[in-house]
Amino acid sequence: MGARTGAEYLKGLQESTREIWLGGESVTDVVNHPQFRQTAQAMAHWYDLQFAHPDQLLIKDEETGEPINISHMIPHSREDLVKRGEGLRLISEQSIGIMGRTPDYMNVTFAGFAGNPSDWRGPSGSNEQGARNMMDWQKRLRRNDISTTHTIVHPVVDKEKDSDFANNPVPLHKVGETKDSIIVRGARLLATLAPFADEQTVYPGHPLPPGAPTSYAVSFTVRMDAPGLIFLCRDSGARPDANPLDAPFSTRFDEQDAYCIFDDVEIPKENVWIDGQVEVYNTVMMPSSWWPNIMQQTTIRALTKLEFAYALASRMAEIVNDNREGTVDKLGEILSYVDATRNALDAAVANAKAWPDGNWFPNPRNLTCMRALLATWMPRVNDILKDIGSHNLLATASRGQLDDARLRPLIEKFLPGANGISAEERSLIYRMAWDFVGSALGARNELYEKNYLASVHTNRMAAHMFYSHEQRKLGDQLVANMLADAKARAAALH
């Protein structure tokens, strides 16, 4: 089949009878529901975009020759990475990076898994069948242009006791088996894009704690309409009745996040990637090629958002003629984040290499640092926007007020920008900024950025634990040299 159109995607969504709860309502038709329909349209746009820009966004499936989205590419060269980067950039610009989990996110993740099957076979090769199922799934994903969500994190109940999996029935685990399927029970979080996905994937976020029963080592994909699969959405940040000029993001880009309960769900065995192999579960997400692969997508998304924020902040300052030293300093701060992010991306591609399975992935060292850094830079950029905007973020005329014949001249007279900038532009820009950082969706987005690829804490620890040995070689030598030099000079004193 290959790439789908937006209309085909929406039809598939309507035909699926998933159990999506929003507030007290079980939503049967997400395509037409007031809180979901605009994001469903944004997703349809994601699908249509590939046909509008086929040179940038479509490639040929290596086996069937069908057109598939560029995010499914398993890169074979540096040129492939450059081409994919340009396509991902175009995609991220559609939502200014606000929708972090459009299908390209999972597509790139699974292209990374499929590009390095040894990881899924496991350290001792104990998971041959699971690895084959994973490769088959990636073919199905790319050839059917499936929209996928993922839950990789265990729920928190009691931070002191949660690691005692033997006595913790909450995390997802296997409770039974038939000839053709396994049966799973428990919960996982947090399925971003759940109302707009066709399938839900489950794979490890962290290794299991020591002593955890093997039944907790499960990984698979499951259709969103599987009986017993229940999604509890957070309150919506969508503003379906607002004018897009008043709320450009909340009227289109609330991708939703949902807590996921598996109430004894049957998973066909061909969709199971790990079934009790703890050694595979605990190692498959170790820093490997999939990791810098997905970091190219996520860092491009972040760069788009940072570039937008820099221009927005600069325009906000211009509108009120704010040239104070402190403001210029903050604008320069955002620009330094923009440039460092772009440099990391460029370096990761320039330093890319072939991995043992023969495929090319970006250089991990250039991108690993970005995980923890972006999780602190993004909230900092929001703070800067709020500092520069201050009360002006709230002192804005709405579209309806600007269109009112009595109010319009008063607004033009009493709410103008500096240097001849119109009251209308002032309101539009500051409302856009408020929707970006201050609306319900803006607040959610900030939390998202802090947890986008695990917490800052987890990322800093991972950077030190996994890369310390390699990264310290030069530093250790410098420490040794300095010590030797100091000893020699001290000895010479006597």
Ligand X SMILES: Cc1cc2nc3c(=O)[nH]c(=O)nc-3n(C[C@H](O)[C@H](O)[C@H](O)COP(=O)(O)OP(=O)(O)OC[C@H]3O[C@@H](n4cnc5c(N)ncnc54)[C@H](O)[C@@H]3O)c2cc1C
Q: Which residues of this chain interact with ligand X, rule CB under 6 A?
A: 101, 150-153, 189-192, 257, 444, 447-448, 451, 454-458
Q: How far is the CB of 324 from ligand X (least distance, A)?
A: 33
Q: How far is the CB of 190 from ligand X (least distance, A)?
A: 4
Q: 68: helix, coil or strand?
A: strand
Q: Which is nearer to ligand X, 123 or 379 (CB)?
A: 379
Q: For every residue of 192-219, which 3-state class applies, written as one string? A: CCHHHCCEEEECCCCCCCCCCCHHHCEE
Q: Which is nearer to ligand X, 101 or 121 (CB)?
A: 101
Q: Which is nearer to ligand X, 150 or 223 (CB)?
A: 150
Are 231 and 65 in contact by the 8 Å Cβ rule? The answer is no
Give the dihedral of Cα atoms 55, 58, 62, 64; nearest 10 deg: -110
Q: How far is the CB of 176 from ligand X (least distance, A)?
A: 24
Q: How far is CA 437 from the centre of its chain?
A: 18
Q: How far is the CB of 17 from ligand X (least distance, A)?
A: 22
Q: Which is nearer to ligand X, 1 or 447 (CB)?
A: 447
Q: How far is the CB of 255 from ligand X (least distance, A)?
A: 9
Are 402 and 427 in contact by the 8 Å Cβ rule? The answer is yes
Q: Which is nearer to ligand X, 41 or 455 (CB)?
A: 455
Give the C-alpha separation, 219 to 203, whole Å. 5
Are 433 and 249 in contact by the 8 Å Cβ rule? The answer is no
Please report which helix (H) or strand (E) contains residue 20, including its range.
strand 19-22
CB atoms within 10 A of CB 330: 20
Q: Which is nearer to ligand X, 189 or 331 (CB)?
A: 189
* 194, two tokens: 């759940």
Q: How far is the CB of 480 from ligand X (least distance, A)?
A: 32
The β-bridge relationship of strands 199-202 and 148-151 is parallel
